[in-house]
Amino acid sequence: MGRVVVGVAVSVAVAACAVAAVVVGRRVRSRRKWRKVVGVLRELEEGCETTVGRLRQVVDAMAVEMHAGLASEGGSKLKMLLTFVDNLPNG
């Protein structure tokens, strides 16, 4: 009877170790993928990093182009159409 209990205990321990190895392996693979994703995002963030001053210059230049486009035909590289909404749909 004692050998049977020891055999069952060893079998259960081996099965538990196998399940734990599979779970740990999946977690390691998942973390590797996340590290790659984080690396790509960090690279993108560094590549697209722009100072606030430069962004304000872009906003100001775009506003000037929009006003010039509205002021006269062909007055800007940015084509603007004079439009307005008279009534909003109510349905």
pLDDT, tens only, 43-91: 988 888 888 898 899 999 988 888 887 777 777 777 666 677 778 788 7
The pTM for the full model equals 0.40
Local confidence band at 3 (pLDDT 50, 70, 90 cut-offs) = confident
Q: How many CB atoms lie within 10 A of CB 69?
A: 18
Q: Give the domain ranges of the chain.
A: 1-49, 51-85
CB-based burial label for 80 (10 Å; 0-12, 13-18, 19+): middle
Decide which of 17 and 2 is more confident.
17
Give the span between the Cα atoms of 14 and 84, in whole angstroms.
75
